[in-house]
Amino acid sequence: MHRLLSSLLMSATGLALAPAPADTPLRGFFPQSIQAERDLETRFKTMPDPARMRAAMQRLSARPHHVGSPYDKDNAEWILNEFKSYGWDAHIENFDVLFPTPVERIVELVSPTTFKASLQETALPLDPTSNQQAEQLPSYNAYSVDGDVTGPLVFVNYGVPADYEELEQRGVSVKGAIVIAKYGGSWRGIKPKVAAEHGAIGCLIYSDPRDDGYAGGDVFPKGPMRPAQGVQRGSVADMPVYPGDPLTPGVGATKSAKRLSVAQAPTITKIPVLPISYGDAQPLLEALSGALAPGSWRGGLPITYRLGPGPAKVHLRVKSDWSLKTLYDVFARLPATTEADQWIIRGNHHDAWVNGAQDPISGLVAELEEARALGALYKQGWRPKRTIIYAAWDGEEPGLLGSTEWVEAHADELKAHAVAYLNSDTNSRGYLGVEGSHSLEKFINGVAMDVEDPEAGVSSWRRVQASRILNGSPEARKDARDREDLRIGALGSGSDYSSFIDHLGVASLNLGYGGEDEGGIYHSIYDDFYWFTHFSDSAFVYERALAQAAGIAVLRLANADLLPFAFTNLAETIQTYVKDLQSLRDRRAEQIAERNRQIDEGLYKFISDPREPVTAPRRQQPAPQLNFAPLLNALDSLNHSASRYDKAYDRAVSEGRSSVAKSVNERLIQAERALTSTEGLKNRPWYVHMLYAPGFYTGYGVKTIPGVREAIEQGEWQNVDREIVRAAAAVEREATLISALATTLGGA
Ligand SMILES: [Zn+2]
């Protein structure tokens, strides 16, 4: 059905998106260069081929290919040869990283009844790769510490800090207990971290059918959703502290690197963790008694959700093989002409938890088609101004290992040469999603306007705009209608852009289509070719759209006369973050004052049900007034220099002032670096970007102006003013740099 619909639409709309007329401005190009760039892009867009992407996906996902497996290496070598056959200069770079694989896994109910969890995803006759048990990694959470624990079970909802406040009020402690948390609500590594902080001795994480199982549709193989035995694997390393190899923080995991011992590695969990299916979770949850779980905590199983503790008592045993494994990062390079010292880097990972057709092969096959098309243009005589580097990362799934180790090993070169990093990961049908550096917001809007959506026959940009007008909040609707550019989100973590933007301050973008396909196969054995070709982009036309979008972005960055950064959107976005922080402080102040008043008035004891008693929460320190003035002053400077830069840019472009381009480009690539601070974030110095970071207690989810935001959220009021000053200093540095660039460009 999907395939038929897509191909009908395709032939009906064909090349409905007419190429822009040559005199339409193109960000980064002098008038005399626009026609050649447009012609080149028109040729490029016809090249990515859905049939080739389908074949490549079938080949790359044919067998399990996790870090350290034979097929992971085999895939890397295949990718290497593909790049070479496209005419690129390609090589593999190795790193040796800690990657634990499971040796023993036990989850069993030992009282009041007994039940032994199967911990096994079942092979399905319809699905030809689901029976490769000999090569599949068993379901587990990588970087769980080894352990053998027995204790009463407690249900903790998603296992985020707010859930523990709720439990505490109900008098439920997890001290000495094994917690069972649902997947969702935060990145998974947060769950064992917060559980251990509250004194739990073990952690189980399960996929509730309300979240990605039968509540959302038929389960696999009849439909796309998670079947009863499906398990989400995944890393639980404390990546908000630092990603990459736990033994080599801040340096590349080369053969000679100095390593921590496993016992010293701070990102390994404090308590043992295992993921389980809802088939295995149901008997455990059913054996809980105690208070009813709050309404919003209950899932989709046909049971009464209770909190415990006990009487269900669970035995959990986890033991891993902690040997080092070799990573195979694949790189390909197209040589440049005049600005070879400036690098445009594009990447997608190649390793998977199991067969990984969607995650990551759906993104990788698009990247390979881009490389093939760029190689063909090169053979036809095109030469990029800047060096283009394509990367296929290994070890993304366990903890962004391949990208992080490479970035750490080459940090100095990258700081000097990297213009931008473009990432993709999974891709499916729907809307073009973009997150990244706001200095590239204007640029990527321009790209999205020139890539056709294969189902709607309008530009990818227009389709996103339509959906925001129809489905957005009133503010989002107004923005979508009136603002020149569609807003892009900020980057948190969760894929290979993290070390580029968070650790080095390399301007980054993450691109991917999605939003029309539901699924419940994430990180399971069912994320495979059968699933993808039945329930996702079966015509591979969104794979082609991704190749077109990312490829055009690469072409424009590599060919631009003036690098296409723009700073008015950045300044305006930072302004929204600051407003947001001010209202966050006021909201927190009000909540704390009201809560403290309720406690003082003794209201909790009046409403407590003696059969299910609730105690008052703890008093909190009232929120002080904060001094946002340094940040507001820095923003004034940035607003001023960003609009000066814009005017100077327009004048330089209209006058075709190529004489200043070289010196401006060299300094423009430092603009994102200016937003970093060498001392990094408090308690996690690996993260140096002052505007974007993954949340310490959310994991993938971004925290903007993280130093300030997290100090407010966590009630560390004594740190806030200092963090405001640090963020302000970064914004001031940016303003100073941009102002100097405006002067060079010829702005008054
Ligand atoms: Zn991925």
Does residue 114 register a pLDDT over 60?
yes
Instruction: Output the CA 151–ligand 1 centroid distance in Å.
Output: 34
Distances (CA, A) of 451 to 46, 431, 547, 548: 11, 12, 10, 7
Mean pLDDT of 727-747: 94
Mean pLDDT of 307-331: 97
Give Cβ neighbours of residue 600 (< 8 Å, ≥ 6 apart).
Answer: none
Instruction: Output the CA 173–ligand 1 centroid distance in Å.
Output: 36
Instruction: Output the CA 724–ligand 1 centroid distance in Å.
Output: 34
Instruction: Output the CA 345–ligand 1 centroid distance in Å.
Output: 18
Number of C-beta neighbours around residue 462 at 10 A: 17
Instruction: Output the CA 102–ligand 1 centroid distance in Å.
Output: 21
Contact in structure between 484 and 441 (CB atoms under 8 Å)? no
Per-residue pLDDT band for 222 (boundaries 50, 70, 90) equals: very high
Does residue 14 register a pLDDT over 80?
no
Per-residue pLDDT band for 3 (boundaries 50, 70, 90) equals: very low
Give Cβ neighbours of residue 424 (< 8 Å, ≥ 6 apart).
Answer: 348, 363, 366, 367, 510, 511, 512, 546, 550
Instruction: Output the CA 522–ligand 1 centroid distance in Å.
Output: 10
Report pLDDT for 135: 98
Distances (CA, A) of 738 to 15, 439, 451, 744: 40, 11, 30, 10
Does residue 5 register a pLDDT over 80?
no
Distances (CA, A) of 25 to 35, 382, 392, 397, 564: 10, 22, 33, 40, 12
* d(C-alpha 703, C-alpha 515), whole Å: 23
Q: Which of 671, 672, 653 is nearest to 661 (CA)?
A: 653
Q: Which of 741, 701, 735, 680 is nearest to 570 (CA)?
A: 735
Mean pLDDT of 193-208: 98
Report pLDDT for 23: 66
* d(C-alpha 236, C-alpha 497), whole Å: 19
Amino acid at 215: A
Report pLDDT for 698: 78
Query: What are the pLDDT digits (tens) for 571-619?
Result: 999 999 999 999 999 999 999 999 999 999 999 999 888 888 888 888 9
Tokens of 71: 């097929």
HSE, CB side, 13 Å, CA atoms: give it for residue 559: 25
Query: What are the pLDDT digits (tens) for 368-397?
Result: 999 999 999 999 999 999 999 999 999 999
Tokens of 475: 């503010």
Per-residue pLDDT band for 501 (boundaries 50, 70, 90) equals: very high
Report pLDDT for 21: 64
Report pLDDT for 678: 94
* d(C-alpha 82, C-alpha 77), whole Å: 9
**pLDDT > 70: percent of the chain:** 97
Mean pLDDT taken over the chain: 95
Mean pLDDT of 36-41: 97
Tokens of 469: 């007008």
Instruction: Output the CA 498–ligand 1 centroid distance in Å.
Output: 13
* d(C-alpha 455, C-alpha 468), whole Å: 17
- Phi then psi for residue 342, to 5 deg, are -105, 125
Tokens of 233: 């694997």
Report pLDDT for 648: 95
HSE, CB side, 13 Å, CA atoms: give it for residue 548: 27
Mean pLDDT of 186-193: 94
Report pLDDT for 151: 98
Instruction: Output the CA 426–ligand 1 centroid distance in Å.
Output: 6
Report pLDDT for 19: 61
Number of C-beta neighbours around residue 431 at 10 A: 20
Report pLDDT for 65: 98
Helix, strand, coil content of the chain in percent (nearest 5): 40, 20, 40
Mean pLDDT of 40-44: 98
Number of helices (H) and strands (E) in the chain: give both, helices first.
24, 18
